[in-house]
A and B are shown apart, each in its own frame.
Chain A
Amino acid sequence: MILRNVAIRHGRSALAAPLRRSFLRSMTTDTLTHETDALDHSVHNHLKETHSIEGNINQLNLTQSFVPPSNAREPSDSIKTDYASQQRLNKRTGKLGATVEKGYVPDALVRNPPKPADVTLELLMASQSHLGHSTSLWNPANQRYIFGIRQGIHIISLEETAAHLRRAAKVVEGVAYHGGLILFVGTRAGQGPAIVKAARLSKGCHLFEKWIPGSITNGDQILAKCDVKVVDKDDVEITSGFEDKVANWKALKPDLVVCVNPLENYIMLHECGLNNIPTIGVIDTDADPTWVTYPIPANDDSLRCIQVIAGVLGRAGQEGQKRRLEAAKTETAEDKKDAANSLRRVAPIAGETAPEQLRGKSSGQELDDIDDEL
């Protein structure tokens, strides 16, 4: 900085009082004291000079570089300082106060269903699985599942619900482990997403529309347009070698049926009974527990309850499928051969070390491919 011009820039006001040390310090870019002293001396010299030439300042050739004072300020770094102060403030106060959390996600149970181990009585109660029907509508066959009467309705025992749900989950897992075809049925309005999710998890089939009567007992006619695919032990489709088997296939039947509203699906459950297919059903206090093999006493009118139950069974199926694929990878050929005896849809071909498994894929209503749906 050129100190000679200070007097001219700041005019008389700067010259009236002797400059303070701090002012000088602020003007220098260097803070060494000996330099400051030197500057001090030079300023004093200039003061003397200026006093002497104060009268005839116009004659000084310095005036040619005179810059009139203006209001334009030095370019300030306010953005930088503001940002820094904001950062400092955030660092100090950012953790104060309450955090706003997402309170309730309506489809949380569909998106992330609970595992069988996660089922607690609190969860079942919060999902309204304990609410039965009016006491006048009860089916006395369900007496052993009922905890009591409250405000005119029967209350289903949560312990019974949890116990039966765990047992059903084990059945689903076992059937999925042995490569069975699981059909999830929920034909009431709003049950679709939970049913589809469960079927997708357990690699099964789903039905959320009307059951066409005879799809099991008269499947060869009703499912005539459906096709079938052959998959190997790792669920990879086999395209050649099974043409003769595929050509004279019979309509697939599920190996396990999970029905969350048995009251509306009596015909389907009856067909399952005729074909000796095990069924799992949600039995409310007005339903008949003899319609299904494994009753789950719970409220079939609550969508949240259905989401919990279907989700748990879907998770169980997922676990079973996972275990099956792991076993298919690790087990030896002899084990596979043993396992093949417990597999049903097997194409036994001499010389094949790995048993192939026929898995249903159809264009029909209840045997839709799951992955196309979601």
Chain B
Amino acid sequence: MRGRNLKPSRVYQTALRLLESQSIEQPPVWFNTIGSIPPGEILTRTQPAQHRETKFNSRIRKPSKMFKPQPIEYEEDQLRREFYNDHPWELARPRIVLENDGRDGQRCDWSRIQQLGRPLSGESVVQRQLWLIQNNGLPKNAAYDVARKEFYALRHEQEVERRVAKEEAMWTGAYFGKSMLEIGMQLEDKVYEGWRVWARTEIEAADRDRDAAYTDIPEADHVQAADDMPVEEPVAVQ
């Protein structure tokens, strides 16, 4: 696996030499096809696609960096970064990144933020903002505000719809299980109950210890202190 083996890319030439030297009687099946469609050039480096302006004394103009692929930057990258910095929880919403024919982007019209067949997401804000910048000539921040507020209004609408739908469903008898708060309270109660049991045993143990302490040591003191008194306890202990 080490080194370069150029044999695969030279199958036609090899077959040609074999035929010329009459090592094989007839050409292989692929001979004409591959002779007419030779493999492309490999291993050579070309000037990579230039995605940004390079200064004259830029580091990537060094001969060693000249053939390195360059980072791809788009105009909306900065907008996207800003939006998700401000709304990090938008990243937690599930999204579909699958496309059938790859033409979904061509079916969008960003003169309005809502698109047919595409759910509202942070990307809607970014694209809408970009459209406002490019078509209405708004400055970046103003376009951001416009797109963002449209987005907020739609999210609010969705939230209200969802809540009303839930209320209607519950009114007609739907049951959605316990709420988060109820589950939390249940867990907390469980811990308290456990603590109560544990505390009871602890108190009992402490009481026992204290009683034992009082029964052992003070009685000995008591015996030593008042040895003239008739005492039954040592007898009982023994």
Binding site for B on A (CB under 8 A): 103-104, 108, 120-127, 135, 140-141, 143-144, 146-150, 154-155, 157, 163-164, 167, 170-171, 174-175, 177-181, 255-256, 266, 269-270, 272-274, 276-279, 289-295, 341-345
A278 CA to B42 CA, complexed, in Å: 15
Taking a contact as CB atoms closer than 8 A, the residue among B4, B30, B40 that contacts A178 in the complex is B30
Secondary structure of the B side of the interface? loop
For B67, the chain A residues whose CB sits under 8 A away are: 143
A344 pairs with B101, CB closer than 8 A: no
For A277, the chain B residues whose CB sits under 8 A away are: 11
B42 pairs with A141, CB closer than 8 A: yes
**Can you show 14 pairs from A to B with CB atoms below 8 A apart?**
A104-B100, A126-B99, A127-B102, A135-B69, A148-B70, A272-B8, A273-B5, A278-B11, A278-B12, A289-B43, A291-B8, A294-B40, A295-B42, A344-B29
Give the 9 A-B residue pairs with the shortest CB-CB distance, closest first: A174-B33, A126-B102, A122-B102, A180-B29, A148-B72, A126-B99, A344-B29, A273-B7, A255-B29
Taking a contact as CB atoms closer than 8 A, the residue among A124, A155, A293 that contacts B11 in the complex is A293
A126-B101, A294-B39, A344-B29 known; 5 new pairs, CB 8 Å cut-off, are A104-B98, A141-B42, A178-B30, A256-B30, A293-B11
The tally of CB-CB contacts under 8 A between chains A and B is: 140
Q: Which residue of A lies closest to B50 (CB)?
A: A148
Q: Which residue of B lies closest to A174 (CB)?
A: B33
Q: Which residue of B lies closest to A108 (CB)?
A: B100
Taking a contact as CB atoms closer than 8 A, the residue among B6, B11, B12, B72 that contacts A150 in the complex is B72
For B44, the chain A residues whose CB sits under 8 A away are: 144
B8 pairs with A149, CB closer than 8 A: no
For B45, the chain A residues whose CB sits under 8 A away are: 140, 143-144
Tell me whether B138 is interfacial, beta carbon within 8 Å: no
Tell me whether B185 is interfacial, beta carbon within 8 Å: no
- Which residues in chain B, 22-40, are within 8 Å of chain A measured between CB atoms? 26-34, 36-37, 39-40
Taking a contact as CB atoms closer than 8 A, the residue among A123, A148, A295 that contacts B69 in the complex is A148
Interface centre among B4, B9, B51 (most CB of A within 10 A): B9
A342 pairs with B51, CB closer than 8 A: no
Interface centre among A120, A276, A294, A341 (most CB of B within 10 A): A276
A148 CA to B99 CA, complexed, in Å: 22
B69 pairs with A149, CB closer than 8 A: yes
A179 CA to B48 CA, complexed, in Å: 40
Tell me whether B201 is interfacial, beta carbon within 8 Å: no
For A127, the chain B residues whose CB sits under 8 A away are: 102
B72 pairs with A290, CB closer than 8 A: no
A343 CA to B26 CA, complexed, in Å: 9
Taking a contact as CB atoms closer than 8 A, the residue among B4, B41, B42, B48 that contacts A148 in the complex is B48
For B14, the chain A residues whose CB sits under 8 A away are: 276
Binding site for A on B (CB under 8 A): 1, 4-9, 11-12, 14-15, 18, 26-34, 36-37, 39-46, 48-49, 51, 67, 69-72, 98-103
For A270, the chain B residues whose CB sits under 8 A away are: 5
Taking a contact as CB atoms closer than 8 A, the residue among A120, A143, A341 that contacts B48 in the complex is A143
For B100, the chain A residues whose CB sits under 8 A away are: 103-104, 108, 126
For A256, the chain B residues whose CB sits under 8 A away are: 30
A143 pairs with B69, CB closer than 8 A: yes
Q: Which residue of B lies closest to A343 (CB)?
A: B29
For B12, the chain A residues whose CB sits under 8 A away are: 278
Q: What's the least CB distance linking B83 to chain A, in Å? A: 17
For B4, the chain A residues whose CB sits under 8 A away are: 290
B102 pairs with A123, CB closer than 8 A: yes
Q: What's the least CB distance linking A174 to chain B, in Å? A: 3
A343 CA to B6 CA, complexed, in Å: 26
Taking a contact as CB atoms closer than 8 A, the residue among A141, A149, A342 that contacts B72 in the complex is A149
Taking a contact as CB atoms closer than 8 A, the residue among B31, B42, B46, B49 that contacts A290 in the complex is B42
A292 CA to B15 CA, complexed, in Å: 16
For A141, the chain B residues whose CB sits under 8 A away are: 42-43
B5 pairs with A290, CB closer than 8 A: yes
A177 CA to B18 CA, complexed, in Å: 23
For A157, the chain B residues whose CB sits under 8 A away are: 49
For B31, the chain A residues whose CB sits under 8 A away are: 342
Q: What's the least CB distance linking A64 to chain B, in Å? A: 59
For B42, the chain A residues whose CB sits under 8 A away are: 141, 144, 289-290, 295
Q: What's the least CB distance linking A280 to chain B, in Å? A: 10
Taking a contact as CB atoms closer than 8 A, the residue among B29, B30, B33, B102 that contacts A120 in the complex is B102
Taking a contact as CB atoms closer than 8 A, the residue among A125, A167, A170 that contacts B102 in the complex is A125
For B1, the chain A residues whose CB sits under 8 A away are: 266
For A289, the chain B residues whose CB sits under 8 A away are: 42-43
A180 CA to B31 CA, complexed, in Å: 10
Q: Which residue of A lies closest to B104 (CB)?
A: A126
B8 pairs with A293, CB closer than 8 A: yes
Q: Which residue of B lies closest to A178 (CB)?
A: B29
A164 CA to B9 CA, complexed, in Å: 14
A181 CA to B102 CA, complexed, in Å: 34
A171 CA to B43 CA, complexed, in Å: 21
Q: What's the least CB distance linking B20 to chain A, in Å? A: 14
Q: What's the least CB distance linking B4 to chain A, in Å? A: 5
